[in-house]
Structure 1
Amino acid sequence: MNLFELNEQYQQLADRDDLDPTVLVDTLDSINDAWNDKLNNIAKWCESLDSDIDFLTKKKRSISDELTYRKNLRSNLMTYMTEAIDERGLKEVHTDDFILKPRSYRQSTVIDHEDKIPVEYRDYEKYKGKFDVKKNDVYKALKDGKHVPGAHLKDNRNTVIK
C-alpha cells in the first residue's frame, strides 16, 4: 500500500509536515467519511509510514556504516603515512601539493584491566558504588615512571597535512 491509494483528503493530510497530535486528531475528526473507510485509510497510511520508517532505518544504518568505514580508512592511511615517513627518518616531506610533518602528541593512557588498577586511581563517588578510573592521575603516574598495574601509555604519533 502507498499514499497514492489513500483518498484525496487523507493524501493532503499525509503531505503536511506540521502535524502535532492535536492538529492530527482535529483534522481526522473533521473528515466526513464513514467510520470503516476512515479507519481503512488510516491503516493504509500507517502501512505507508512503516515502509518509510524501514527505508530510513536501513539508510541510516548504511550511512553510519559508511562513516565508520571512512573514518577507519583515514586512520589507517594516516598511520601508514606516518610510519613510512618515520622509517626514513625524515622530519618533513614536501610533495607536489602538500607538506607532511609527522609529530608526536600526548601519549594516550590505555587501561588494560580495570580490576587491577590500584585504589588510589579510582573514583568511587562518581558512580556510587561502582568505580571510575582517574585516567589523568594514571597518566601522571606513568609519565613520572611509576608502575600502575593494568595500565600503560601508548604513543600517539600522527602526520599533519598542510
Structure 2
Amino acid sequence: MNLFELNQAYRELEERDDLDLETLKDTLDAIEGAREVKLDSLASWIEKNKMQIDWVTEKVKDLQAKKASLTNLNKSLQGYMTQSLDDAGIKELQTKNHILKPRNYKASVVVDSLDDLPEEFKQTKTEVTADKKELYKVLKDGQEVPGVHLKPNRGTVIK
C-alpha cells in the first residue's frame, strides 16, 4: 500500500461509527504498512478524537447553561402570567392559541434553617465506599483482599 492508500484507509475507519472493538482491531490488523506509519496514524486519530471530545464537552456545558437559562425564564414568565391572572381575578382566559387557567399545586416545603429544625424531622444519610487508596497500598504490597484485585493499566503517551 502506498501512503495515499494508507491515509485513505484510516480516513474511512475514522468515519465509521459501527465498529465494535473486535472489528476495529481486525480491520487495523488487516491494513498493511510499516508499524511506525500505522501507529503514527493511530496517534493522529487519537489526537483528533481528543479535540472533538474537548469541543463536545464545551458544547454540552453551553447547552446546559442555555437549558438552565430557558428553564428559569419559563418559571419567571409562568409566575408573571399567573400573577397577572390572579390580580385581575380571572379564573380562566381563552386566547387565540391557548386556554389559561391558574391553579394551585402541592405546596413546596422550604427549610429556612436546618439548625432550628427539630431532630425528628432531620435525616442522616451515610454512604459506604471502598477506600481505594488504602486498598491499592495493601494489594501492591502483595496482600490479598477478598472481592478486590489490581487491574493492569497500560497506555501509550502521545507527544
TM-score range, shorter chain: 0.5 to 0.7
Q: Secondary structure at the match of 2:33?
A: coil
In the TM superposition, what whole-angstrom CA distance separates every residue of 1:76-98 from its partner, at most 9, and x where no partner exists? 11100111111122222232332
Amino acid at match of 2:50: D
Matched ranges for 1:24-39 at <5 A: 24-39=24-39
Task: Name the count of aligned residue pairs.
Answer: 123
Distance 1:15 1:97, change over 3 A: closer
Q: Secondary structure at the match of 2:41?
A: helix
Q: Secondary structure at the match of 1:111?
A: coil
Q: How high is the TM-score relative to the length of structure 2?
A: 0.67
C-alpha separation in 1, matches of 2:92 and 2:122: 41
Aligned to 1:7: 7
Aligned to 1:91: 91
Cα root mean square deviation, aligned: 2.2
In the TM superposition, what whole-angstrom CA distance separates every residue of 1:108-153 from its partner, at most 9, and x where no partner exists? 10112223321111234xx249xxxxxxxxxxxxxxxxxxxxxxxx
Which structure shows the bigger proportion of residues in strand conformation?
1
Distance 1:109 1:36, change over 3 A: same
C-alpha separation in 2, matches of 1:64 and 1:128: 30
- Structure 2 gaps, min length 5: 128-159
4+ long deviations beyond 4 Å: none
C-alpha separation in 1, matches of 2:116 and 2:126: 19
Q: How high is the TM-score relative to the length of structure 1?
A: 0.66
Give the fraction of aligned pairs with identical amino acids, expressed as a percent: 40
